[in-house]
């Protein structure tokens, strides 16, 4: 086996030393978060560990097929764990309410691939060059020589596939294809995963997509595209917030666009923004960092307080400045 980060040895040492674990992930969990959490949880259970999986928010409908009985529990205060492992969580604050529930612990391990991660754990494996946390969990299992069962293969393949845009994003590396190939060899059900994740959307999402195409706006010679999703849009379409995952990619795919922006109303004066960039010189993680957020150079987000129009003006202005600097 090729060389691997020595922090993996430290992680495996901590795992061997402890018995009770809680695997936690970020708010509004996506495919990489869920697949990484559950894949690691099954691996640890197979090693005889007692494992709990917690998230603040519910699992989106399209990922329900991944969740076996008893794998995910509702977070509750008062429990103590030997070890807490955060997967795919760019900051401790992104754990949401779960962060308060896992303070009674001996050690915190932080496994993530976001460049903005501040290394908030006692043991930190943060590797921004990896396109998904699922690939990190896969490499951890390979070094540990833990068996990759069919259920684990399904989970890790889903994690890797969703965070690489089904192996399309430019950060996808040769090793990512090797990992995906081995997971399919180990039993990952490619047909079922693709059907559930990419080809089975509720009617409400289709109605939301109709809104996307009819209401988007463009500026800066059509290099910037932006869209608002208000609470009334969800009420009218019957969609849930989970249904917004991937919608921004439809805007990003428009030919002249360099940066796509989606503004989502959380509260009357709190807006969630999502940014996507097609130009390596326009780092949307840095843009979101101006507003207390972060993520990846090509995909990032933030939650910004303030009046909606003010938030929109500030974000679009920051995007325009980044585009101008990229020239």
Label residue 47 by pLDDT band (50, 70, 90): very high
Residue range 204-326, CATH number: 3.10.310.30
Q: Which residues contact 289 (CB under 8 A, 6 or more apart)?
A: 116, 300, 302
At residue 11, the pLDDT reads 98
% of the chain with per-residue pLDDT over 70: 99
pLDDT greater than 70 at residue 226: yes
Residues 6+ apart with CB under 8 A from 49: 15, 18, 19, 20, 21
Instruction: Provide the pLDDT for residue 70.
Output: 73
Asked if 90 contacts 114 with a C-beta cutoff of 8 angstroms, the reply is yes
Q: What is the pLDDT of residues 241-289, one digit of tens each?
A: 888 988 999 999 999 999 999 999 999 999 999 999 999 999 999 999 9
Phi and psi of 72, rounded to 5°? -110, 130
- In angstroms, the CA 75 to CA 102 distance is 9
Q: What angle do CA 103, 107, 108 make, to 5 degrees?
A: 75
Q: Do residues 38 and 155 touch, judged by C-beta distance below 8 A?
A: yes
Look at 23-37, 121-135, 180-194, 233-247 and tell me which has the smallest mean pLDDT: 233-247
pLDDT tens profile 56-107? 999 998 999 998 767 899 998 889 999 999 999 999 999 999 999 999 999 9
Q: Residue 2 has what pLDDT?
A: 54
Residue boundaries of the structural domains of the chain:
7-198, 204-326
Phi/psi at 264 (nearest 5 deg)?
-120, 125
Query: In 3D, which of 78, 72, 79 has the Cα closest to residue 54?
Result: 72
pLDDT for position 1: 46
Please state, in angstroms and rounded to a whole number, the distance separating the CA atoms of residues 13 and 34: 24
Q: What percentage of the chain reaches a pLDDT higher than 90?
A: 88
Answer for the pair 261, 297: CB distance below 8 angstroms, yes or no: no
Tell me the per-residue pLDDT of 282-322, one tens digit each, with 9 for 90 and over: 999 999 999 999 989 999 999 999 999 999 999 999 999 99
7-198 maps to CATH 3.90.1640.10: yes
**Across 1-29, average pLDDT:** 92
Q: Between residues 171 and 137, which one has the greater pLDDT?
A: 137
């Amino acid at each position: 086996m090729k060389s691997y980060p020595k922090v993996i040895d430290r992680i495996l040492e901590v795992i061997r030393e402890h018995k009770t674990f809680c695997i936690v992930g970020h708010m509004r969990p996506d495919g990489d978060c869920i697949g990484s959490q559950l894949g690691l949880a099954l691996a640890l259970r197979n090693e005889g560990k007692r494992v709990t999986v917690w998230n603040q928010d519910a699992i989106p409908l399209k990922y329900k097929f991944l969740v076996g009985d008893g794998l995910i529990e509702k977070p509750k205060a008062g429990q103590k764990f030997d070890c807490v492992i955060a997967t795919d969580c760019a900051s401790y604050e992104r754990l949401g309410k779960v962060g308060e529930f896992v303070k009674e612990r001996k050690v915190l391990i932080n496994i993530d691939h976001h460049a903005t991660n501040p290394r908030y754990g006692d043991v930190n494996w943060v590797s921004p060059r990896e396109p998904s946390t699922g690939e990190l969990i896969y490499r951890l299992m390979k070094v540990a020589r833990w068996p990759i069962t069919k259920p684990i293969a399904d989970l890790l393949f889903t994690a890797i596939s969703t965070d690489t845009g089904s192996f399309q994003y430019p950060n996808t590396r040769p090793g990512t294809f090797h990992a995906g190939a081995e997971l399919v060899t180990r039993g990952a059900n490619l047909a079922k995963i693709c059907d559930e994740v990419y080809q089975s959307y509720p009617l409400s999402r289709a109605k939301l997509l109709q809104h996307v195409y009819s209401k988007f706006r463009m500026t800066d010679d059509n290099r910037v595209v932006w869209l608002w999703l208000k609470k009334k849009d969800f009420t009218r379409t019957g969609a849930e917030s989970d249904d917004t995952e991937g919608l921004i990619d439809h805007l990003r795919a428009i030919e002249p666009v360099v940066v796509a922006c989606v503004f989502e109303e959380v509260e009357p004066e709190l807006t969630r923004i999502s940014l996507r960039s097609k130009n390596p010189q326009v780092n949307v993680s840095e843009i979101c960092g101006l507003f207390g957020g972060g993520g990846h150079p090509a995909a990032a987000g933030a939650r910004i307080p303030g009046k909606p129009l003010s938030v929109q003006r500030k974000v679009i202005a920051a995007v325009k400045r980044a585009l101008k600097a990229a020239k």
